[in-house]
């Protein structure tokens, strides 16, 4: 079986971890500090529900292609959550900027999006009621 795990490079992995905790109640673990600078992280993992996200501080030697752009084009993440409205509200309270307010689809599922303080566009959705 194959799988894929997103790996996000950010300007402050410690701040990113806190955002993930506040916005998604993420469990952050396996945080590996840079030996020469313990305030920087060379690898960390966040469990959000059943999903896994890797992240680290971006580096000066090509570890990340571009600085965070003004528009969220370097990566987009989709999170299926129990309650899209709650996730959206928590993310905005944690510093995210709304990109699309939460709306209901034809099937009753709710979804919307926000840009986190690190330039990543997140889409959050919940499942349609049974």
Q: Give per-residue pLDDT as tens, 103-113.
A: 998 888 899 99
Q: What is the mean pLDDT of the chain?
A: 84
Distance of CA 82 to the CA centre of its chain: 16
Backbone φ/ψ region at 91: left (φ over 0), alpha (ψ -120 to 50), beta: alpha
Q: What is the pLDDT of residue 107?
A: 87
Residue 119 CA to residue 1 CA, distance in Å, equals 32
Over 90: is that where the pLDDT of 14 sits? yes
What token pair was written down for 98? 């709304």
Q: Which domains does the chain have, with CATH numbers?
A: 7-59+68-125 (3.10.180.10)
Confidence (pLDDT) at 7: 85
Span 121-128, average pLDDT: 86
In the chain, where does DSSP find H-type helix? 13-24, 84-93
> Which whole number is the average pLDDT over 34-45?
88
Is the entire prediction scored with pTM above 0.85?
Answer: no
Decide if 24 contacts 45 (C-beta within 8 A). Answer: no
Q: Are 8 and 79 in contact (CB under 8 A)?
A: no
Residue of higher predicted confidence among 102 and 70: 102
Is residue 69 scored above 80 in pLDDT? no
């Amino acid at each position: 079986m194959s799988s894929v795990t997103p790996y996000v490079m950010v300007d402050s992995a410690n701040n990113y971890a806190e955002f993930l905790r506040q916005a998604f109640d993420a469990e952050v673990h396996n945080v590996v500090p840079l030996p020469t600078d313990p305030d920087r992280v060379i690898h960390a993992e966040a469990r959000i529900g059943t999903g896994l996200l890797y992240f680290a501080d971006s580096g000066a030697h090509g570890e990340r292609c571009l600085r965070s752009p003004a528009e969220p084009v370097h990566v987009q993440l989709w999170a299926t959550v129990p309650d899209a409205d709650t996730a959206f509200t928590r993310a905005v309270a944690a510093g995210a900027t709304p990109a699309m307010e939460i709306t209901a689809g034809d099937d009753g599922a709710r979804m919307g999006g926000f840009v986190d303080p690190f330039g990543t566009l997140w889409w959050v959705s919940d499942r349609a009621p049974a």
